[in-house]
Amino acid sequence: MAKCVINRRAEFSASHRYWLPEIPPEENLAKFGACTNFPPHGHNYVMYVGMVGEIDHTGMVLNLSDVKHTIAREVTTQLNFSYLNQAWEEFQETLPTTENIARVIWQRLEAHLPLVNIRLYEHPELWADYQGNNMQAHLTISTHFSAAHRLALDTLSLEENTSIYGKCARVNGHGHNYHLEVAIVGDIDPRTGMIADLSAFQNAIDKYVLEPMDHTFLNKDIPYFSEVVPTAENIAVYIQKLLTKPIHEIGAKLHSIKLIESPNNSCEVYGEYQLSDIEHSLEEVLAKAS
């Protein structure tokens, strides 16, 4: 029979606080920022439980009613309207960050369901994926920028470019509200619960991507695209190039870049850009920023 991956959505509302009692308050504040505040802050968490199996004679991989009750019994009933730091003993050892909550939910469900992935949204612009690989997890930030571009090769005439790129070859360009998803991968710290410092992750995206690229005409304002046609594919590779080294510097690895140009067009690139090619790109970004 055919293998199939199914997903079940569930949600819970809970609060948490990032605080390590063994270090001074000022060190907690430096490490976790506003997340140290007490009373704690809360989220409406949304999770997708991915499961795999064969399609049986009923046309199902698993009975979804049974799946629903299992998730409720093992996870959501226990976590809903809870203070996560005290809800489960695992969160007393390792802080309940998004990535660590996903990991512990996997541990709570793996004896009951054929898991392939736990995706947990802390909010629509931040989520984690966990796939049962010890302490390894993925963390994704979703963001956006606005920019204009023109798709054309300098070696071709307007007519030739139009035959390749259609209306996108028009000489004055056009714009998009680009949606960007940057995913990193790394090991969860056994105490802080983090793959990498979340503020440092966001700052890397802001510094190397959003600030230099937002509200620009890519062909004219970004030196890289004076020689490279700024298609969605090439923009994604450029962002991959920009972020590989900064993500290394915060202790993680770049996993993927997803760029959504419009509801009809998107692309994804995976892994890190070749490190030997990165320095020049970073110099371009810093020169532009200054």
What are 10-68's pLDDT values in tens digits?
999 999 999 999 999 999 999 999 999 999 999 999 999 999 999 988 889 999 999 99
What's the chain's length in residues? 290
Report the pLDDT averaged over residues 158-171: 96
Which pTM was predicted?
Answer: 0.92
What are 79-88's pLDDT values in tens digits?
999 999 999 9
pLDDT at res. 274:
77
Computed over every residue of the chain, the mean pLDDT equals: 94
CB 49 within 8 A of CB 118: yes
User: Per the structure block, which two tokens stand in for 1?
Assistant: 């029979």
Taking the CA atoms of residue 92, residue 94, residue 100 and residue 105 in that order, the dihedral angle to the nearest 10 degrees is -40
In 3D space, the residue among 280, 289, 166, 160 whose CA is nearest the CA of residue 231 turns out to be 166
pLDDT at res. 171:
95
pLDDT at res. 279:
52
Is 142-290 in the same CATH topology as 1-132?
yes
CB 47 within 8 A of CB 82: no
pLDDT at res. 278:
47
Domain ranges of the chain: 1-132, 142-290
Helix (H) or strand (E) holding 46, with range, is strand 41-54
| Mutual angle of helices 232-249 and 278-289, in 10-degree steps | 90
- pLDDT tier, 195 (very low <50, low <70, confident <90, very high otherwise): very high
pLDDT at res. 290:
41
DSSP H helical ranges for the chain: 25-32, 64-71, 77-79, 84-87, 90-93, 98-109, 158-165, 198-205, 211-213, 218-221, 232-249, 278-289
Name the architecture of domain 1-132: 2-Layer Sandwich (3.30)
Residue 275 half-sphere exposure toward CB, CA atoms < 13 A: 7
CB 75 within 8 A of CB 109: yes
Catalytic residues: 168, 215, 261
By DSSP bridging, strand 216-217 and strand 136-149 are parallel
For domain 142-290, the question of CATH label 3.30.479.10 is answered with yes
